[in-house]
Amino acid sequence: MKKHIPVMVGNSYEIDIRTLGTSGEGVGRYEDFTVFVPNALPSERIRATITEVKKTYAKAQLKEILAKSKNRINPICSIYEKCGGCQLQHLDYEAQLMAKRQQVVDAVTRIGKLKDLSVLPTIGADPPWNYRNKVQFPVGIEKGKPIIGCFAQGSHAIVDTHDCHIQKEGNNAIVNVVREIAAKLRTPIYHEDRHTGVLRHVVGRVGKDGALMVVLVTAVRELPREKEWVKLLRAGLPHLVSIHQNIQTYRNNVIMGRETRLLWGRATIIDMLGSLSFHISPRSFFQVNTVQAKQLYDKVLEFAQLTGKETVLDAYCGTGTITLFLAQKARKAYGIEIVRPAVEDAKKNARDNRIKNATFLVGDATVLMPRLYKEGVCPDVIVVDPPRAGCTEAVLKTFAAMHPDRIIYVSCNPASLARDLAILSTLGYHAQKLQPVDMFAQTIHVETVVLLSRERK
């Protein structure tokens, strides 16, 4: 029997909003039919016009707030409603933290089917503004002038951004100076549909003591008027220490290409996580919120319960940040990563920080971990910080086969985390504590650190 759909495109309805969706939109029901409404908040009654109808849900545009949430505030950003970079500026920060905890709770109970788990209050940022040490904005053209900024929500229309409130001020300075230079030098701007032009993206990084790196991403190998670019960037950015050109000739949405040229200054900038220093190159992965990353890694250390006698294994180690944190408190630390350049960075970071009890290996964790186990490496603790998709079941079974006392799972996606916790539960590892950490204030995203312990038989 075909389900009755009570709403029609173009019609307006009064809807009670109950929760937030995974993109930060309000989720309500009209006659028991789900409706997603951007910019609406839980506990609000609103009037919205239906813009799209599917079999099981509809999307709508907010037209009027009939009963306002006590947690609704005025966004501080003048382009917030156009820009897709933030989703929660209209929600009081304490309520953001509660919503992110609830996101984790909902995922582990609905997707993971796990009950009675201890989900701790979200660790918030202080302050929850100007925290991003990396910017990567597309470049476009509007009325004959260069524009640089975030994409509008759900589109590739660029919203010209002069003062992003979640970026460090050094990154805002980079964006504004590059926009001025592109106009002054009449650098051809990349056209996505026609695949023509030169300047595609601007990538900026802020390091220790405000040091700046600029990366100009171009669609061609030669940057027109390169020497003038270097001269004007140096004049406009007093804290600049590094200028690169990254060459991305492919017709796709990947921001950076494989080839990078140093145009001036140092090859890397340095940033700190706690007492550890890290060299960061244009394509290096490094946490974009260093203050909150320290909170996250401190929680990993707390959950790992290291006494100095343990062997720990970091299964997706990247450039070695978590591995090196663990190595400071462990007898021996191993980092495994499939991307060879990241492992080379990790080895260099270990040398720079004079950490000698960390070993980094290139390869697939499902292959290397059993080999290490056969060679007598028996980790007391395994730490895993996978991509958004989470771990494959084969990887999780590999963890369990090494019989660690504890697994620390760091996740940026509550849905894949919930699925993987359910699998680990069947393998004898049960979640003891879940700690959400707000790494990305004003957005819907949340990191979670989970302590899992081995079932004793």
Tokens representing 162 are 């002069």
Question: Do 434 and 334 fall within a single domain?
Answer: yes
Q: What's the rounded Cα separation, in Å, for the pair 164 and 198? A: 24
The string of pLDDT tens digits covering residues 362-406 is 999 999 999 999 999 999 999 999 999 999 999 999 999 999 999
Domain range spanning residue 428? 111-124+289-454
pLDDT at 215 over 90: yes
Total structural domains within the chain: 3
Q: What's the rounded Cα separation, in Å, for the pair 457 and 346? A: 38
**Do residues 118 and 434 touch, judged by C-beta distance below 8 A?**
yes
**Pick from 338, 344, 308: nearest CA to 326:** 308
Question: Do 236 and 303 fall within a single domain?
Answer: no
Q: What's the rounded Cα separation, in Å, for the pair 385 and 412? A: 8
Which regions of 211-343 does DSSP assign to beta strands (E)?
Answer: 212-218, 240-247, 259-265, 269-273, 276-280, 311-314, 332-337
Tokens representing 164 are 């992003």
Question: Do 119 and 152 fall within a single domain?
Answer: no
Number of H helices, E strands in the chain: 9, 21
Question: Do 322 and 422 fall within a single domain?
Answer: yes
pLDDT value for 14 = 97
Question: Do 322 and 434 fall within a single domain?
Answer: yes
pLDDT value for 72 = 98
pLDDT at 4 over 90: no
Q: What's the rounded Cα separation, in Å, for the pair 236 and 231? A: 9
Q: What is the CATH number of the domain that holds 35?
A: 2.40.50.140
Q: What band does 2 get if pLDDT is binned at 50, 70 and 90?
A: low
pLDDT value for 272 = 94
Q: Mean pLDDT throughout 20-32?
A: 94
pTM of whole model > 0.85? Answer: yes
The string of pLDDT tens digits covering residues 236-284 is 999 999 999 999 999 999 999 999 999 999 999 999 999 999 999 998 8
**Pick from 177, 226, 184: nearest CA to 202:** 177
Which amino acid is present at 393? Answer: E
The string of pLDDT tens digits covering residues 44-63 is 999 999 999 999 999 999 99
Question: Do 117 and 142 fall within a single domain?
Answer: no
Q: Answer yes or no: is 83 within a domain.
A: no
The single residue of 77, 378, 391, 412 carrying the catalytic annotation is 412
Q: What band does 10 get if pLDDT is binned at 50, 70 and 90?
A: very high
Q: Which of 64-68, 126-130, 151-155, 330-334 has the lowest mean pLDDT?
A: 151-155
Let me know if 86 is a catalytic residue: no
pLDDT value for 284 = 86
